[in-house]
Amino acid sequence: MAPTWKTSRPIRAFARGAAGVHRGLYRATGGKVGGSVRGVPIGLLTTRGRKSGRLYTWPVCCLPEGDGLLLVGSAGGAPRNPGWYYNVRANPEVTVEVGRETRMMIAEPQAGAARQAYWDRIVQEHPLFEGYQRKVTREIPVVYLRPPSAGAD
């Protein structure tokens, strides 16, 4: 039986190590290296751990949307949502680095018609996400990051 994402410690250790290398290269080059993967723009999202309270930074898909950004919680088609998604639900105050710019943002997980409208745009621009959705039974989360001054709708 193949290990699952949840139980495979070597896979999780590799992902953490790869993310660390990605972060280092991204920051050292201002996003010139690691600023896109398979044509998808990447930023660095820093969240506060929902259990530990520690700060965690992960490379994530960051698509421009008005004054904010859209994040896609595809986790590369893994069966579980990425940890950062649960962190932003518990504490929506985040920091995102895009290139050399760092911004404080408020994370708003999307649901229903709003999520679907964003999702349709995302898969139109980046069809690989449709393939990720077909691989999993979970609904891939979409999170809108808005500037704190924009206020909630």
Neighbours of 1 (CB within 10 A): 3
Per-chain mean pLDDT for the chain: 86
pLDDT in tens, 61-109: 999 999 999 999 988 888 889 999 999 999 999 999 999 999 999 999 9
Show the CA angle centred on residue 25, arms to residues 52 and 84, nearest 5°: 30
Question: How many structural domains are present in the chain?
Answer: 1
Q: What's the whole-model pTM score?
A: 0.83
Domain membership flag for residue 3: no
Domain membership flag for residue 61: yes
Domain membership flag for residue 1: no
Domain membership flag for residue 4: no
Domain membership flag for residue 2: no
Start-to-end CA span in the chain (Å): 47
Domain membership flag for residue 53: yes
Domain membership flag for residue 142: yes
Q: Is the pLDDT of residue 10 over 80?
A: no
| % of the chain at pLDDT higher than 70 | 84
CATH at 30: 2.30.110.10
Which DSSP helix (H) or strand (E) runs through 133?
Answer: helix 128-135
Best-predicted range by mean pLDDT (9-18, 27-36, 105-114): 105-114
Encoding tokens for residue 93?
């105050």
Cα–Cα distance between 47 and 94 in angstroms, integer? 5
Specify the pLDDT at position 149: 85
pLDDT in tens, 19-45: 767 777 777 777 787 777 788 899 999
Show the CA angle centred on residue 84, arms to residues 70 and 117, nearest 5°: 30
Domain limits for position 128: 9-150
